[in-house]
Amino acid sequence: MCSLEKRGNLFILTLTGKNVEHRLNPEVLSSIISALSRAKAKSTRGSALVTVSHGKFFCNGFDLDWVNATGSKQEAQQRFDYSLDCLTQLVQAFISLPMPTVAAVNGHAAAAGVVIPLCHDYVVMRRDRGVLYVNDLEMGLKIPELYMAFFRAKTSGWALRDLVLRGLKIKGEELLKMGIVDAVYDGEEGVTNAGMKMADDLARRKWDGEVYAEIRKGLYSEFCGMLGIASKAIGTPKL
């Protein structure tokens, strides 16, 4: 599913998901949400989270084997919708996490799997391997309006069009140009170490976690608005 490790100020979330493609089903999503709760409970000023994964895939989307392992099309649709609801809950958990977050993307992220790295404040990715692939168009699926709002919070203009309307498998270098990824590195070790270093640097700013989360939510205002998660005004300022 996933594992959470604490190394000094750093929380390291490792995605294992279901099988080598680290696929997502309600059980996997639940366990990631739990891990984030545990990180939240132990967070202090100067905490940060980095999400890593190993192998050819970062996350290849929903566990369609599980979705389709039912008697009817109707039930399969129900399982899909349920997976989507769980994903939305996970996105909310990431967005409200009271610390900076970094995703170190070692491999392919596709479909629902694209959402996971994008939930993080910063994304570092392998230059030599791995693509981001929003394949809803190719699959004949409409991207839910909520997720359009999510993508609109991450990018705009031609980059947004290329991300969702073009069925492109986009590599790290291109994603860097699109502003979707912050830096690229060679090799799995390279990107993982870079992700940890970035998280460390952010942690050293010792930001108030609650305020950080509220400012972050402001960057996703359309998405949060649709979910009815209002932003809180906080004033315990260091004047």
- Under the criterion CB under 8 A, does residue 238 sit at the interface with another protein? yes
Q: How far is the CB of 72 from another protein (least distance, A)?
A: 41
- Under the criterion CB under 8 A, does residue 233 sit at the interface with another protein? yes
Position 128: which residue type? Answer: D
CB neighbours of 3 closer than 8 A, spacing ≥ 6? 13, 14, 16, 35
- Under the criterion CB under 8 A, does residue 214 sit at the interface with another protein? yes
For tokens 């993080």, the residue is 120
What does the per-residue mask of binding to another protein show for 62-101, with x meaning CB under 8 A? --------------------------------------x-
The residue range among 25-33, 53-61, 83-91, 153-161 that interacts with another protein, by the rule CB under 8 A, is: 153-161
- 90-149 residues in contact with another protein (CB under 8 A) are 100, 121
Phi-psi region of 37 (alpha: psi -120 to 50; beta: other; left: phi over 0): alpha
14-48 burial: b if 16+ Cβ within 10 Å, else e = bbebbeebbbbbbebbebbbebbeebbeebeebbb
Residues in touch with another protein (CB under 8 A): 100, 121, 153-157, 179-180, 182, 202, 205, 207-208, 211-212, 214-216, 218-219, 221, 231-239
